[in-house]
Amino acid sequence: MFKPVKNSYPVQLISFLSMVILLWCCTNNKSNEQETGLDDSVTSVDRDSAAAHVVQVPAPGFPLDSLLAFDSESDLKKTFGEKLRRVKGYYPEGMGEYSITLLFAGTTNQVGFVWKDDSVTHSGLEYLTVSTPQSRWRTKSGIGIGTTLKELELLNQKPFSFYGFGWDYSGMTSWEEGSLSEQHVSVTLGTPPNSSGPYTDSIQGDRNFQSSSQIAQRVNPTVWEIVLRRSEPEYD
């Protein structure tokens, strides 16, 4: 499991209050679709069932990086009240399971919090994850769900590499020392909706592809999952 370096991240209270008000306004119309309170029941989070979606450019006011200030489930509850749900996620290739705290579960604005201690205190933020189609969250660098490969190249200021599709590490990226390497953000790519044919079939499987390749440019995969950390992970 990744072990990011723990550091201090000050909370800007006014910004958070503004963000909370905005998010509640956006999610209240779906209140019947989500459970309130902290639910310890098991809910499966299946990576393979998600798909990339081309979405509209989100409006300002959904800075994903601002949520890095929360370092425990109890901290989240102080700010967001009962807008939390606890579920289980599963590592690739059957490597075990872990606990996730979902904020605004079941809505467009859902965000997952994964903790270093995910069994007792649910504290020590390891990373944030966003994968809901049409999510309005964006990183400070401008990455959101639906951002295209070509847009990522511009943000990274150079080509990058990614794994082929159709297996456990499908679409995972490496920024190849580009500008996004300093943002502590990683993304998983998926093929655009209704994408098929020989070009899409050519970027499948356990091998690396360059974003600058003709095939990748032709398919132009989109972001379907964002993982954001405070710092680079530590490895045991």
pLDDT digits (tens, 9 = 90+) for 50-97: 333 332 333 446 899 999 999 999 999 999 988 999 998 887 666 778
Identify whether 87 is part of a domain: yes
Separation CA 98–CA 49 (nearest Å)? 18
Q: Strand 84-90 to strand 44-45: parallel, antiparallel, or no bridges (unpaired)?
A: parallel
At 201, list the tokens: 């079939």
Candidates 2, 44, 51; CA nearest to 165 is 51
Lowest mean per-residue pLDDT among 109-123, 130-144, 183-197, 205-219 = 183-197
Q: What's the number of domains the chain is made of?
A: 2
Candidates 226, 232, 224, 229; CA nearest to 55 is 224
| CB count in 10 Å sphere of residue 33 | 10
Residues 6+ apart with CB under 8 A from 199: 215, 218, 219
Q: Residues for the chain: how many in total?
A: 236
Percentage of the chain surpassing pLDDT 70? Answer: 69
Q: Of 61, 93, 127, which residue is a domain's last?
A: 127
Position 81, amino acid: G
110 and 23 in one domain? yes
Does residue 1 or residue 143 have the better pLDDT? 143
pLDDT in tens, 18-51: 554 455 455 444 433 333 333 333 333 333 333 3
Identify whether 222 is part of a domain: yes
161 and 220 in one domain? yes
The mean pLDDT value for 188-196 works out to 80
CA distances (Å), origin 158, targets 163, 181, 193: 17, 11, 25
The mean pLDDT value for 146-159 works out to 96
64 and 159 in one domain? no
Contact 188, 223 (CB under 8 A): yes
- Report angle CA 146, 182, 236 to the nearest 5 degrees: 100
177 and 115 in one domain? no
Identify whether 167 is part of a domain: yes
123 and 12 in one domain? yes
Identify whether 111 is part of a domain: yes
Identify whether 90 is part of a domain: yes
166 and 103 in one domain? no
Separation CA 114–CA 123 (nearest Å)? 9
Q: What is the pLDDT of residue 46?
A: 36
DSSP string, 34-100: S--S---S--EE-GGG------PPPPS--BGGGGGG--BHHHHHHHHTT-EEEEEEE-GGG--EEEE
DSSP assigned state of 80: H
For residue 16, give the H/E element and its range: helix 13-27
70 and 19 in one domain? yes
Identify whether 140 is part of a domain: no
Separation CA 224–CA 228 (nearest Å)? 13
Candidates 126, 152, 16, 140; CA nearest to 71 is 126
At 72, list the tokens: 């425990």
Q: Of 97, 127, 157, which residue is a domain's last?
A: 127
156 and 122 in one domain? no
Identify whether 136 is part of a domain: no
Residue-range definition of the domain harbouring residue 166: 149-234
175 and 227 in one domain? yes
Provide the strand spans (E) within 118-174. Answer: 123-130, 161-163, 173-174
Query: Whole-structure pTM over 0.85, yes or no?
Result: no
Identify whether 141 is part of a domain: no
199 and 169 in one domain? yes
At 96, list the tokens: 């075990």
Give me the half-sphere count of Cα atoms (radius 13 Å) on the Cβ side of residue 211.
26
22 and 119 in one domain? yes
189 and 77 in one domain? no
